[in-house]
Structure 1
Amino acid sequence: MVSSPKLLSFLLLICVISVQAQDFNSVKSIAERRVPWLAKSLTLSKIISNEKDVFELSSDGKTVFIAATNANAAAEGLGWYLKYYCNRSLSHLGNNLSPVSKLPVIKEKIRISSPFQYRYALNYCTINYSFSFYKWEDWEKELDWMALNGVNIMLAPMGTELVWYNTLIKLGYSDTDAKAFIPGPAFTAWWLMGNLDGWGGPNSLQMMLSQAEIQKKVLTRMKDLEIEPILQGFYGMVPHDLNKKVDAFKDAQIIDQGTWVASEFIRPAILVPTNDKFNVVADIYYSELKKLYGSDIKYFGGEPFHEGGKKAGVDITAVAKSVQDVMQKNFPNSTWVLQGWQNNPADALLAGLKKENTLIIELFGENTSNWEQRKGYGGTNFIWSNVSNFGEKNGLYGRLQRFLDEVYRAKESPYGNYLKGVGIIPEGLNNNPVAYDLMLDIAWRNEKPSLEKWIVNYTTYRYGSYNQDIVDAWKIFTQTVYSSPINEKGNIVYQEGPSESIFCARPSLKVNPVSSWGTRKRNYDTKLFKQAVALFIKADNQFKNSETYQTDKTDFLRQVMADKGDKAYDDLVKAIQEKDKKSIKDKGNQFLTMILQQDSLLNNNNYFALNRWLNQAVALGKGLPDANNILYNAKAQITFWGPDNKSYTRLRDYAHKEWGGLLSSLYYSRWKLFIDEAMNDKITPANTFYDMEVKWSRDSNLFPIKKLNERKLLAIQKRILE
C-alpha cells in the first residue's frame, strides 16, 4: 500500500513538531521547578547556527518561544526572559519568582549570541565555603542558577574523596590509613590544591559513598544542561608517607612538600611526574575516576606546587608534559585547566604543555592584569575572572566598573584572541549577587554596557518593579561599596575582598585585619553610603513582601552597623589605653550592645543566620556515623579554621561570618571577656580566645533563630541609621 504525498507530508510535519516539543527538556524542567506559572506557556526548539551559543526570544502574550543552538543557550534565554521581560530572578540571597499578572509580549523576535566560548564558575574554595554540606536538593537549585545565567563550564571536583580512597586501597593502603589522607567535608578544597591532608577527618566510607552518589546526580544534570564539569586531575599529589606505606614506592622519587601557612599544615607529597612510578598511580586514579563518573570528562583541574611547595632540582617543563600526557592517555583530547594566580602557572610549566589542551583561569582580575603582564600567558587560552570574595566573609564589595572595563580592554587588546571567556571565581557565593549577575551578563554582550543603565535593569528584575528611590540609592552604591577606587598614581586600590567587621575580630588593642590578608579599611565614603541606605529604605512599604528587597535591606543595614563599629572600637581602645575604668565600662557596654543589635538584625533573615549553615551540616550527617564530626567541621571552618594543636593559627577567623547566632555567642563572649579583663588592667592573650573557639566548635548547639517582632526590628533599624 502506497501512502499519498499529502499523508506523508502530514506525518512528517507531526514528527517535526514532536521532535521540537522534546527539545531541551532539561530547560523546561527548570521552569517547572522555579517558575511553574511560566512552564506551561513555554515552547522550546533547536536552531542551527554558525555561532555556537545563540538564543532567540519571541512571545505573543500567550506563548513564549525560545529557540537556541543548545540547552545551555536555551537556559540563558529563559533566564533572560525572566529578568528583562518579567522582572523576575533567582539568586543566592533571595528569589523573586512570583507569577506575573500577564506574560509580556515581545513584538519583534530578539536574537542574542555570546561572544565567548566559555562562561565559567567557581573557585576551589567555593566548594567548601559555600557547598560543604550540600545535598542533592541544594545542588539542583545551584545548577538551575548556573544554567539560567549561561554558565557552561564549572569546577566540580566533588566526590573526589572516594576516588582517592579507592586508589589508595588499590595501592595497598589499609582502610584506616587511606581515610587518614582524606580531609573532612569542610576542608577538601585545600587538600585538592595540595595544601593539607587529613584535617577535619576521618570520613566514614558511608559519607564518601553518599558524596559520590550526589556527584553522579550533579554530573548527569550538568550533562543535560550542557555545562562542562572540571574534575580533579592527577598531578602527582600523594600521601607524604607513600614510600613508607607501600614497598613498591620505597625508592620512588617523592618530594616532601613541607608545610603550608607558617608551618601549620603538613602538605601532601609530590610523586615526581617524570618518575616511572607516576604513571602507575595516575592510571589507577583515572581508572577509579572513570568507574565512578564516566569516561567522557573533558576538563581537569589541579596543579603541582600550588602556593609554594618544594620543586628544587625538578624539571618543571618535563613535569608539565608528563602530567598532561597521562591525562591525555586516559582522557583523549581533554583540557588541563590551570589557575592564573600570583606567579602561577610558571612560564616553565606552560612551556611543557600543548596549548590547544590548556586553559587558564585569570583569577584576580579585580586587582591584577596578569593576562597583560604575562602577554596572554605566552599565547595560551584564558578566561577573565575575579575573586571578589574571600572566605565567604560578609561585606558589600564588587568592583563593577572594573569588571566591565577590564573584560572589554582584554577583548580589544593584542591578546584578545586568547580571551576565550569570562567567569566568576569567588571563594564564596552567598553574598553580593550584583557582582555575579554582572559578570555572567557580560558573557552575552558584544559591546560594553553602561553600568548606570545596567543597574537600573538589575534593580528592576531583582526587586520586581522599578522604583526611583531604589535606583538613586544603587547609583550611590556604585560610587561607594561597589566602586572601583583608584589611588593617586592612577592604579586600582588593592583589596582582597570586602572590608571586614570589627565585631567578628579576635579582640586585641590593634585589630588590623580581622583575618589574615583581609582589611578593615573602608575604601568608600561611609557617610554617603549610609545616606544611600536610608534612601533605599524609603521603598520599604512597596517591597514589604519582597524576599530580595528585604534581604538586601538587611545586608545594607548590617554594613552600616559594621562601619559604625569601627568608631566604637576606636573609642574603646582609647579608654583602655588611658586606663579610664568608667570610660572602659561605658564604651565597652556600647560596643557589646552594638554586637547584640547586629545579631538581632541578622537573625531576622535566614540568609544571615548561623542556624542555616549548621542545619545544612546536620542534614548531610543524618544517619551517618560521622554526623558529630560533620557538625564540628561546620563550626571549625568559620572560627579557628585549624589546626587544633596550636594556640594560634594564621587562618583563624579567615572565614568569619557576621551572622545572627555567631555574634551573640562566640563573638560577644570574646569581646566581653576582653572588656572585663581590661577593667582589671589585663589584656587577654590570644591562646585564651583560641581555647574558647575550639570549645565553641565542639559544642552541639545549633543556635535556633530568634526573630524580633516588627516594632523592635524597626527600632534597631532607626538606631543604625542615626
Structure 2
Amino acid sequence: MKKKISILILLISVWSVQMFANPIDGLLERIDKGASHKFVIELKKSDKDFFELDQKGKKVVVRGNTYVNIATGLNWYLKYYAGIHLTWNGMQAKLPDVLPPIKEKLRKETDLSLRYDFNYCTYSYSMAFWDWERWEKEIDWMALHGINLPLAAVGMECVWRNMLLKLGYRSDEVNRFIAGPAFLAWWAMNNLEGWGGPNPDSWYAQREDLQKKILKRMKEYGIKPVFPGYSGMIPHNADEKMGLDIERPELWNGFTRPAFLQPADSRYSEIASLYYSEQQKLFGKADYYSMDPFHELENADEVDFDAAGKAVMFEMKKVNSKAVWVVQGWTENPRPEMIKNLNNGDLLILDLFSECRPMWGIPSIWKRDKGYEQHDWLFCMLENFGGNVGLHGRMDQLLNNFYLTKNNPLAAHLKGIGLTMEGSENNPVMFELMCELPWRPQKFTKEEWLKDYVFARYGIRDDKIEQTWMILANSIYNCPFGNNQQGPHESIFCGRPTLNNFQASSWSKMQNYYDPTVTVEAAALMVDVADKYRGNNNFEYDLVDMVRQAVSDEARIVYNRTVADFESFDKRSFARDSKRFLALLLMQDSLLGTRSEFRVGRWIQQARKQGNTPEEKDLYEWNARVQITTWGNRTCADDGGLRDYAHKEWNGILRDFYYMRWSAYWKTLQDQLDGKPEVKLDYYAMEEPWTLAKNPYTTEPEGDCIELAKKAIKLVQND
C-alpha cells in the first residue's frame, strides 16, 4: 500500500513539473477548462522564429521554437480555423468538442524576432489599477499575439523609494517626489513630481508583490522583460538636499519637473549603482533596460548629450554586460549626438509612431534622412493617445509604411515591431493587424485581410458585417498620409464647450478625414443583423462601439447646426437643436452602460479595489477621477492645457460630468438669445467637485445592448 502511495505521489509530482514546464497548457486551461487535452504542444529548436499547425489523430499540433511563438500559432489556429477571437473584451471561449482539423500543415516564419509592448503612458492610462487577475489575462494576450519584449514597469516606484531612503531622504520627502498611481508614467518620464500622492506604504508592498508575479509568469513563457533603468533623474531639490550638480528643467504644463544629474557629476555613478542594486534586490537583472533621458525637454543646450549617452550605457553595462538600452524615438529623442558613438547591438530604438510619423527614413514630418544609422530599431504602432475612446486606424498607411521596410537600406537594422499605445483595450482590429505583420512576408490589402478577420472575430461569415467593415476600413479606419492627428477623432461630447469646439484635448491635431455619415451607415448595418448574433460577445462589443461612434458623429453635426442657430439668432431652432444634442449625449450614456468595458464604474472600482482602508480607497478613486477629467490642478488644467487629455466617452461620466458642462453652456447661449448678459463659465469650478465626489459607479452592465443600439440608431436617423 505504501509503495502504491509513493508511486502515486511520484506520478503527481512528474505531472506537476510537466504542467509547469509547458505554459501553453496553462494558457489553454484558462481559455477553456479541458482545452489542453485537445492539443499537442511541441517545442522545437530552430535558429529562426516559427510556428507550425499540424494534425495528429483528433488533436491539433502546435509547434514552435519558443513558447511565445507556439502561443502565436495557437492564436492563429483559433482565429482562422475555429473562428475564435480572444482579446481584451473576452479572453475565454468555449472550444468545439472536436476541433476543426488541420488538413494541410501550415508553417509561418519571421526574421523579426523582437515584438515589443507598451508605452510608459499605458501603465497609467489603462493599467494604473490592474490586479494580478487582470495582469494574468494581459500576459496571456501578449503571448497569443507574439509579444516577447514588454516594458515591465510595475513596481519601479518601489526601487526609487528604497534608493532615496538610502540617500538620506525621509519617507515624507520620498512621497512628495513619487507620483500617485494614475500619474506614475509622467513621473517615470521626468515630467512631474508627486502629483496624485502621497502613496501609502501598502501601495509599495502591493506593487512589489504584483511585479514578482508578473515576472514569474513572463519567465515561464520565455518573455524578456524591459526594466526601467537609470538615466540621471533626481528630485528637483537634490542640489540643496545632497549637494549635487543638477540641471533644473522648466515646468512641464505647470508641474515641477524632476532635475537630472549631469553625467560628469562625481556622484552620478554612485547613484546609478545604488538604483540598479535596489532594483536587483527586488526584481533581479534584465537583458533590456528602458531609459529616455531628456524626454520632451526643451532648452537643453547646456547638456553634453554624448557624455550623457555614454554614462547611461556604462552604468547599465555594469549591471549586465549583455544588456541592451531601449529608447523611444519620439520628437527630438533619441538625440543623434547622444547615440552617435554607441555601438550597434547596445541600443534598441522604438520608432514610436511608425504608422504616422516614422523617423526611420521614409516621408514624414519627423523623417531622419539617415534613419537610425548603425542602431537596431523596431517599427511601432502608437494608435491611441490618452486612452481616448473612438474608432480609429491608419490601415493603408500602416501596411504601406511597414512593407516599405522590405529591402530598404535604412531598414537594415530593423529587428521587429512594437505596440506603443498610450491607452490599451480599444480598436482590437488594429492590434490584430499589427501583430500579424511579422508573420506575413508579402504585402496584402486591408480588404483581403478583413474578410478573414470577420470570421475570426465573430466565428461567422456574413455579407452585411463584411460590408460594415469595408465601409469603416475605407473611412474612419483609414486616416490618410498627411493627417498627423494623435489618436481617435475625439468625441464632441468630451470637450469643454465653446462656439468653436473641434478637438477635445489640447494636442490632438485633429483634422476631418472621413464623412461622419458613413459611420451611421456602418452602424445601421450592424443593427440590422444584431438579433441574429445576440449573445456573441465580440459582436455585441463591436455593435456598441460602432453605434457609439455613429452617435458621436451625429452629435458633432448637431453641434455645428446649433452654433449656426445661435449665430443666426434663430431662437426656435437653437432650442430644438441644443435639446437634440443633449438627448444624443444621454442616449450615448445609456447605450454605453450596457457593456462593462464602457462604464466609468469599471475604472473607478479597479482603483478602489487597490485600497485597504477607506482613506486609501478614496485616494485611488480621486486619482482615477482626476486623470480622466482635469488631469491636474487649476493651473495645469487651464493654463497647462492638460484638461480632457485623457477624456473618456463612458457611461456615468457622460451624464454626470459632460452633460453638466454642455447643459450649462447651452443655457448661457439661450439666455443671451433671450437678452440676458453673457456669462463666462468657470469650467474648472464645475469640474473639480466631480473629481472629489464619492458617488458610487458600478461595473455591471445595465440594459439590453441590442435594443438600446436600435433606439440609438433610430434617434440618429430621425434627424
CA contact (8 A) 1:380 1:418 kept: yes
Q: Provide the TM-score with structure 2 as the length reference.
A: 0.93
Q: Secondary structure, in 3 states, of the residue corresponding to 1:423?
A: strand
Specify the alignment match of 1:338 in structure 2. Answer: 327
- 1:201 shift after superposition: 0.6
Question: 1-side partners of 2:657 and 2:595: how far apart?
Answer: 19
Deviation at 1:477, TM superposition (A): 1.3
Aligned partner of 2:246 in structure 1 is 254
Separation of aligned partners in 1, 2:342 and 2:308: 10
Question: Match of 2:420, as an amino acid?
Answer: I
| Residue 65 (structure 1) shift | 1.5
Match of 1:376 among 361, 371, 374: 371
How far the C-alpha of 1:600 sits from its partner, in A, is 0.8
Report the alpha carbon displacement of residue 447 of structure 1 after superposing the two structures with TM: 1.9
The reply on whether 1:679 has 2:670 as its aligned counterpart is: yes
Match of 2:495 in 1: 505
The residue correspondences of 1:599-614 to structure 2 (distance < 5 A) are 599-614=589-604
1:303 is aligned, of 260, 282, 292, to 292
- Residues 452-463 of structure 1 aligned to structure 2 (within 5 Å): 452-463=447-458
User: SS of 1:206's equivalent?
Assistant: helix
- Report if aligned partners of 1:58, 1:108 keep a CA contact under 8 Å in 2: yes
C-alpha distance in 2 between matches for 1:675 and 1:242: 50
Decide which of 697, 702, 714 is 2:691's aligned counterpart: 697
Partners of 2:395 and 2:644 in 1: CA distance: 27
Q: Does 1:572 align with 2:567?
A: no
CA shift for structure 1 position 71: 1.2
Between the two proteins, the alignment pairs up a number of residues equal to 693
Q: Is the partner of 1:370 in helix, strand or coil?
A: coil
Give distance in 2, aligned partners of 1:467 and 1:411.
Answer: 35
| Correspondent of 2:105 among 80, 105, 109 | 109
Which of the residues 316, 336, 356 maps onto 2:345?
A: 356
Other-structure match for 1:127 = 123
The superposition leaves residues 413-445 of structure 1 with CA deviations (integer Å, 9 ceiling, x where unpaired) of: 112321111121111112100000110011222
User: Could you give the per-residue CA deviations for residues 514-548 of structure 1, whole angstroms, max 9, x where no partner exists?
Assistant: 11112554311222332222223332122111111
2:171 maps to 1:180: no
Structure 2 counterparts to residues 457-496 of structure 1, below 5 A: 457-486=452-481, 492-496=482-486
- Find the partner of 1:445 among 401, 419, 440: 440
Query: Is 1:38 aligned to 2:40, yes or no?
Result: no
Greater CA drift, 528-537 or 419-428: 528-537
Paired residue for 1:201, among 177, 197, 201?
197
| 1:596 and 2:608 correspond | no
Tell me the CA shift for residue 326 of structure 1: 0.7
Q: 1:534 to 1:664 in 2, by over 3 A?
A: same
| Match among 9, 22, 36 for residue 25 of structure 1 | 22
Q: Which amino acid aligns with 2:190?
A: G
Does structure 1 residue 559 correspond to structure 2 residue 559? no
Match of 1:149 among 145, 150, 160: 145
Q: 1:715 aligns with which of 701, 705, 711?
A: 711
Instruction: Call closer, same or farther: CA 1:638–1:22 in 2, change over 3 Å.
Output: closer
Indicate how the Cα distance of structure 1 residues 294 and 367 shifts in structure 2: closer, same or farther if over 3 A, else same.
Answer: same
Distance 1:406 1:478 in 2: 17
In 2, the alpha carbon distance for the partners of 1:265 and 1:110 equals: 54
- Kept in 2, the 8 Å contact 1:501–1:520? The answer is no
1:433 aligns with 2:422: no
The percentage of counterpart residues that share the same residue type is 36
> Would the aligned equivalents of 1:23 and 1:46 in 2 still touch at CA under 8 Å?
no
1:287-298 equivalences under 5 Å are: 287-295=277-285, 297-298=286-287
CA distance in structure 2 between the aligned counterparts of 1:19 and 1:559, rounded to whole angstroms: 48
Partners of 2:412 and 2:646 in 1: how far apart? Answer: 37
Structure 2 residue matching 1:356: 3-state secondary structure = coil
The CA distance in 1 between the partners of 2:17 and 2:113, in whole Å, is 25
Query: Are the aligned partners of 1:194 and 1:306 in contact in 2 as well (CA < 8 Å)?
Result: yes
Counterpart amino acid of residue 334 in structure 2: P
Deviation per CA, 1:561-604, whole angstroms, max 9, x where unpaired?
11111121112222333444444332221111111011111111
Structure 2 distance, partners of 1:304, 1:610, is 34
Moved more, 129-138 or 362-371: 362-371
Deviation at 1:36, TM superposition (A): 2.5
Q: Partners of 1:471 and 1:543 in 2: how far apart?
A: 14
What is the Cα deviation at residue 103 of structure 1?
0.5
- State the partner residue of 1:5: none
Matching residue's letter, 2:284: G
Range with greater deviation from structure 2 (475-484 or 98-107): 98-107
Q: Does 1:530 align with 2:530?
A: no
8 Å Cα contact 1:186/1:200 also seen in 2? yes
Unaligned runs of 5+ in 1: 1-13, 487-491
Contact 2:118–2:419 at 8 Å: present in 1 too?
yes
Query: Which secondary structure state, in structure 2, belongs to the residue aligned with residue 541 of structure 1?
Result: helix
SS at match of 1:443: helix
Structure 2 counterparts to residues 37-76 of structure 1, below 5 A: 37-51=34-48, 53-60=49-56, 62-76=58-72
2:437 & 2:601 partners in 1: Cα distance? 35
For residue 317 of structure 2, what is the amino acid of its counterpart?
Q
Residue pair 1:340, 1:362 contacting (<8 A) in 2 also = yes
In 2, the alpha carbon distance for the partners of 1:456 and 1:62 equals 28
Question: Following TM superposition, by how much is the alpha carbon of 1:625 offset from its aligned partner in structure 2, in angstroms?
Answer: 4.7
Cα 1:215–1:392 shift into 2, 3 Å:
same
Out of 405, 412, 420, the residue aligned to residue 415 of structure 2 is 420
Q: Distance in 1 between matches of 2:637 and 2:610?
A: 30
The Cα of 1:122 is off from its aligned counterpart by 1.0
Bigger drift between 576-585 and 199-208 goes to 576-585
Unaligned runs of 5+ in 2: 1-10, 362-366
Amino acid in the other structure paired with 2:695: N
| C-alpha distance in 1 between matches for 2:388 and 2:303 | 38
Q: CA deviation at 1:104?
A: 0.9
Contact 1:389 1:497 in 2 (8 A): yes
Matched to 2:256, the amino acid is I
Shift of 1:309: 4.3
How far residue 24 of structure 1 moved from its aligned partner, in angstroms, is 5.0
Alignment of 1:82-101 (within 5 A): 82-95=78-91, 97-101=93-97
Q: Is the 2:31–2:92 contact (alpha carbons within 8 Å) kept by the matching residues of 1?
A: no
SS of equivalent residue, structure 1 residue 481: coil
Distance 1:441 1:135, change over 3 A: same
Distance (Å, rounded) in 2 between the aligned partners of 1:564 and 1:420: 43
Equivalent runs, 1:211-230 vs 2, <5 Å? 211-230=207-226
Distance 2:701 2:137 in 1: 27
Which residue does the alignment assign to 1:4?
none
From the superposition, tell whether residues 114 and 568 of structure 1 become closer, same or farther in structure 2 (CA, over 3 Å). same
Q: Is the 8 A contact 1:674 1:684 kept in 2?
A: no
The question of 1:664 aligning with 2:655 is answered yes
**Deviation digits for residues 623-673 of structure 1, max 9, x if unmatched?**
475221100000000000013556714010001011111111110011111
The alignment yields a C-alpha RMSD, in angstroms, of: 2.1
CA distance in 2, matches of 1:434, 1:63: 29
Moved more, 349-358 or 661-670: 349-358
Letter in 1 for 2:259: A
Given that residues 362 and 370 in structure 1 are in contact (C-alpha distance below 8 angstroms), is that contact kept between their aligned partners in structure 2? yes
> 1:44–1:94: structure 2 CA closer, same or farther, 3 Å change rule?
closer
CA distance in 1, matches of 2:158, 2:478: 43
| Partner Cα separation in structure 2 for residue 679 and residue 706 of structure 1 | 36
Q: What is the one-letter code of the residue matched to 2:416? A: G
**1:281 alignment counterpart:** 271
Instruction: Tell me the secondary structure at the aligned position of residue 260 of structure 2.
Output: strand
SS at match of 2:489: coil
Moved more, 523-532 or 543-552: 523-532
CA–CA distance in 1 between the matches of 2:473 and 2:21? 37
